[in-house]
Each structure stands twice: as structure tokens, then as C-alpha cells.
Amino acid sequence: MELSQAIRTRQSIRKYVSGAEIPDEHVKRMLEAAMMAPSACNSRPWKFVVVKSAEMKEKLATVHPFCGHLREASLAIVVCGLPEAQRRVAQGFWPQDCAAATENILLQARDLGYGTCWCGVYPREDRSEAVRSLLETDGVPFCLITVGVPNETPAVRGFYDEERVEYR
Ligand SMILES: Cc1cc2nc3c(=O)[nH]c(=O)nc-3n(C[C@H](O)[C@H](O)[C@H](O)COP(=O)(O)O)c2cc1C
């Protein structure tokens, strides 16, 4: 799929084919895409937790108020920030770095034919701490991406808005 097409046809998917399996090489491709993202001073202050187990998906769907669709998704990729991994001049930029990695995952998944939904975690501290404690990770959970085979085709919601553009 052309990159332009992937960008323009990506949409949040919240209904998935239950029980669909995603091959490991596809998961790896998504993680590679994430780690190809730009980051401030090339600090790459991220780590990724891939959640496949039904038990952990259920626990995450319980602590996150807006990701019930995780129960049907094949897996979740939890993008975590590593603020301490940033060099001094890059400090504070880690959420932007994680956002860039997240978007790369969404687009790579779209290219592979999967649906995704970016579910926000950071900066909601209660959500971030609940997810961190469930996953027992030293990273700061930034977002949780549900990934699976789409079972819906919602209309694409993005559009070009000339009023949001200024030229100087
Ligand atoms: C920072 C962020 C947080 C989001 N959190 C959630 C969420 O918790 N649950 C959810 O179902 N969708 C979530 N979304 C998806 C948005 O609702 C969605 O991107 C938006 O409505 C536009 O629709 P589209 O992705 O289909 O273009 C989030 C998106 C972003 C960028």
C-alpha cells in the first residue's frame, strides 16, 4: 500500500475479528516501524510491551476506561516512555517521541491490513500508574494501541481544513 493511501485510509477500529492471530513477523514489522521514528537528539526514549494474553488484555481493559475493544483485539502494544533515557538537551520531549513511534505503528499496521486504535494513557497519572503496575514495567505507559483484524469499516474522519492553515 502506498504511504499516502495508508495515511488517508487509516481510521480507529474498535471492532475486531475475535480470535484472529497476528504472525510474529508482522508484530516485529510494527515494532521496527515504531523504532524508526525520529526522536529528540536520537534518544529513542521508549520501550514497547506486547500484550497477547487474554488475561492481561482483560485486566488492561478494566483499568482503562475507554479501551473495552481490547478484549476482542488480537493484541495490544503499550508504548512506554523512558524519560531517564533522554540526554539533557532532549529532556521533556519523550511524549513527542512516543507519539511519533505510535503513529508509525498505526500506519505500519494499516499497511499490513490490520486495524488499530490509539488509546491514551499518559498524561492521566492514575491510568498510567495502573497500566505500569499491571505490566510491571519500568517505563511510563504513554498509550495503548489495540491491534487486530477489522470487523467494521467506519468512515474516515480526518479531513483537510483550510482554516487551520496560516501562511506568513
Ligand atoms: C491521544 C489520543 C488518545 C485517544 N484515546 C482513545 C481512547 O482512550 N479510546 C478510544 O477508543 N479512542 C481513543 N483515541 C482515538 C480517537 O478517538 C480518534 O483518533 C479520533 O476520534 C479520530 O478518529 P480516527 O482515528 O478514526 O481518524 C485517541 C486518540 C488519540 C490521538
Query: What are the sequence ranges of the domains in the chain?
Result: 20-151
Residues 52 and 32: their CA atoms lie apart, in Å, by 18
Length of the chain (residues): 168
Does residue 67's CB lie within 6 angstroms of at least one atom of ligand 1? yes
Q: Does pLDDT of 157 surpass 90?
A: no
Q: Within 10 Å of residue 125's Cβ, how many Cβ atoms? A: 10
| pLDDT band (50, 70, 90) for residue 158 | confident
If you measure from the C-alpha of residue 120 to the centroid of ligand 1, how many angstroms do you get, rounded to a whole number? 7
Q: Over the stretch 75-117, which tens digit does the pLDDT of each residue have? A: 999 999 999 988 889 899 999 999 999 999 999 999 999 999 9
Query: Is domain 20-151 annotated with CATH 3.40.109.10?
Result: yes
Q: Does pLDDT of 1 surpass 90?
A: no
Does residue 83's CB lie within 6 angstroms of at least one atom of ligand 1? no
Q: Over the stretch 108-151, which tens digit does the pLDDT of each residue have? A: 999 999 999 999 999 999 999 999 999 999 999 999 999 999 99
Sequence-distant (≥ 6) Cβ neighbours of residue 80 within 8 angstroms = 46, 47, 48, 49, 98, 132, 137, 139, 140, 141, 142
If you measure from the C-alpha of residue 158 to the centroid of ligand 1, how many angstroms do you get, rounded to a whole number? 12
Does residue 12's CB lie within 6 angstroms of at least one atom of ligand 1? yes
The number of the ligand 1 atom at minimal distance from the alpha carbon of 14 is 11
Q: For a substitution probing ligand 1, which of 10, 64, 117 has the most ligand atoms within 8 Å of its CB? A: 117
Average confidence score pLDDT of the chain: 96
